[in-house]
Chain A
Amino acid sequence: MSSSITQSEAREAQFAAEVAELTRTGGNDARRALIDLCEERHPVYENQPASAVTRMRAWVLESLCRLGPLPDEALPFVLEELETAQDPFLLAAAAACLRTYPQPLPSFCDALSMASRNAQGMEAPVMLGVYGGIGPAGGGDTSPMRELAATIEWLGPNAVLPAGGCCPELPESIMGLFRRKASDRPAASRRAVDRVALEDHRGQIKTYRERLCGQPSIVAFFYTRCDNPLKCTLTLSKLSRVQRILEERGLFDQIRTAGITYDPAYDTPERLLRYGRNRGFRVDTDHHALLRATEEFDVLRRHFELGVSFFESIVSRHRIEVFVLDREGRVAFTFQRLNWSEEKVVDEAAALLTREQVRVIFPSVAPVAGFAASVVPKCPICWATYMSFLGVTGTLPILGPLALKALAAVLLTIHLILALWRVRATGWRVAHTLSLVGVVVIAINLIKTNADPGLAPVGVALMLIASILTVRRQYARPAS
């Protein structure tokens, strides 16, 4: 019987052997290669079922530990597994791995206490040092609880929390690995993502640009079939808490929130709505939505550099990831892996709002200037030229609200009428035809939700050429 499973089993066996070889070789290159393998989006995990990905990741962590002290870069992966793992082998491997970190930090308490809570119902025999973590006849020489107990012992006095206090935060150098600013991220293809159609929980489809541009947004990824209670279901509950904080701070209408599914083929609008409502997510305004990209999820995946892998159409592994987007829909801040603080996410979005309000004053001068210039009394040709100028200054491409669209429609109509008036005066139709084509192109851009953003400049260019040609013809003719 030939199936994806047979192929994935063969690839898994090859992977196990290659990682074992890396461990034998040792050195910095091997360590680097193993750290790279901790990333969910590594191609080696593509089209592997969740159980295989779990075994593979546990094997990578075990192998990393055998290479010597655990480097800082690998620490996020180990702590993430301690907080969220649902598999005995993976949890035991992560607990054992943490003991190879150069020093027992008191800030490891949080992850270890979460792991201890999770491990209680997960206790099972585990054999470290064997691929798959299971010995002959299903036996083992250790277990998640035993490994956690050993790690807590290693932590020593640091494992004791101060009276009434909570675990200290990880050092900033390590926290930086979980929270990243946009400048650390390579630029993604903006134009492609702008056109991605996003269907919301009501079944309404709008483009990424329409949904997530114009205001800062907080975006979290999830899927309704996720069976890890410490991941998606918690993420969406926390996103609901984000909404409440926004409301308390009076930012509910100024900062958007969105939950986007990893599983667009299965998560229908009805499922998204039910899932969100059950977790307190508010979808009562256009600013807050649960979304799916039915056609171009891969474009979103590249834009956000999502840490997710799939087996056929089912998610096999994903990290926790929350993004703060600026008003242009670009990723400004990322929270990854560890359970994130709702307050901090809102702080980042609010800071962005303040920064952008200052910054936006300058760009807004351009359309105002264009509009002011166009209403100054001029000859009819100049009217048309200045109407075109309105487009050049960036007013048309940033039009979003209905009122601005209506204004654009009125101005374009005036432009056409004036151009037609010139035809009656001069009898020369070429410029008017060019203007007409330009207006049609811009109108398409205004009406169609997923139109090519490159259309607007083309329309403006045509109208400008028409105006210049009319003016040139006017001056070329001898004065009568």
Chain B
Amino acid sequence: MKKTKTKAAASHSRKSTKAARAKVTLPDLKLAQGADGLRQAIKVLRDSSETLQRRAEALRILQSASFGEEEFDDVRADYVAALRELTGDKEIALRQRALGLLARSRDTYAEKILMDGLQDPDKAVVPASDALHYLSYNLHSGVQSLARSIFDTSKDQAVRQQALRLMANDPQALKTIQKTLADKKESVEVRQTSAEALHALDPKALQNWASKVVLDKSENEEVVATSLTALNHFGDEKQITGNTALRKRLAEMSTGKSSAKVKRMAKTISTKYSL
């Protein structure tokens, strides 16, 4: 009991020290109250001669005020205008924050900048994976066709994974997703993201694939674990209990040479469906 208390006290003390350090390092913008203070913050944010820390703090203040403060309505249009300006700022951190915030509100100006950057890397103001991530906030932005094309051509795994996440909303990408999932040459991460995408588009197809993977002894263990997770959470009881080969394989996995993770998953499924 005493030990627990000591641990908790130590943890609390560490947290307090961290918070105190953070407070010390945060710049004091000396803002006025109400809408005037918000206008001052916008001025700091726009001023490229200010330090990154001061501008980032101004952005944090404005962002939190945008959620509820009544006086924010007076400056909302100026705030959006400032964010749009930031999309061309010299500081990538500010560009990323501004584009993320604008994209969340489906700002067509920001979406155009992001799309242009994806089509022409010379115009890109943020990395392609970020651009795809921001554009994913609006499934109507039309980015899906670009995502398909980027997925086919890019060699950057992070970018391809991000593209796959967007393709999860796109029925036209179904075949590509299934092909990627079946391709053992693809990286495990890309195949796992494909499995998520397939679940979103065609849950039954994912179940069929998962059953096949479990039966395939040459399959990667991580991919097998993903399939077992899919069967465990979204599996159709009748299909699983009626599949003799699958039942047999699950029994083998529970006791055989499989990794601890696979064994645990196989046992969970066997218990869940009383196999």
Contacts and interface: CB of A to CB of B under 8 A. Distances in A.
B107 interface: yes
Contact of A51 (B105, B140, B170): B140
26 contacts: A1-B150, A3-B119, A4-B145, A5-B115, A5-B143, A49-B142, A50-B138, A50-B141, A50-B142, A51-B108, A51-B138, A51-B142, A121-B105, A124-B80, A125-B77, A137-B85, A138-B87, A145-B73, A265-B171, A270-B203, A311-B140, A312-B170, A313-B172, A314-B139, A314-B170, A315-B140
Contacts, number: 113
Interface in B65-85: 73, 76-77, 80-81, 83-85
A227 B81 contact: no
Interface residues of B, number: 41
A3 B88 contact: no
Given A138-B85, A312-B172, A313-B171, A5 B203 contact: no
B145 A54 contact: no
Given A139-B81, A313-B171, 7 more contacts: A1-B153, A50-B138, A120-B73, A123-B76, A137-B84, A145-B77, A315-B140
A268 interface: yes
A313 B119 CA distance: 21
Interface of A: 1-6, 8, 48-52, 54-55, 86-87, 89, 120-121, 123-125, 132, 134, 137-140, 143, 145, 225, 227, 265-266, 268, 270, 311-316
A423 to B, nearest CB: 50
Contact of B84 (A3, A138, A311, A312): A138
B161 interface: no
Interface in B144-174: 144-146, 148-150, 153, 169-172
A268 B202 CA distance: 8
Among A8, A124, A265, chain B packs the most CB atoms within 10 A around the CB of A124
Nearest to B108: A51
Given A134-B108, A313-B170, A139 B84 contact: yes
Interface of B: 73, 76-77, 80-81, 83-85, 87-88, 105-109, 111-112, 115, 118-120, 138-146, 148-150, 153, 169-172, 201-203
B73 A123 contact: yes
Contact of A8 (B106, B142, B149, B202): B142
Contact of B108 (A87, A143, A265, A315): A87
Among B73, B84, B85, B145, chain A packs the most CB atoms within 10 A around the CB of B145
Given A50-B140, A132-B108, A312 B145 contact: yes
B16 to A, nearest CB: 37
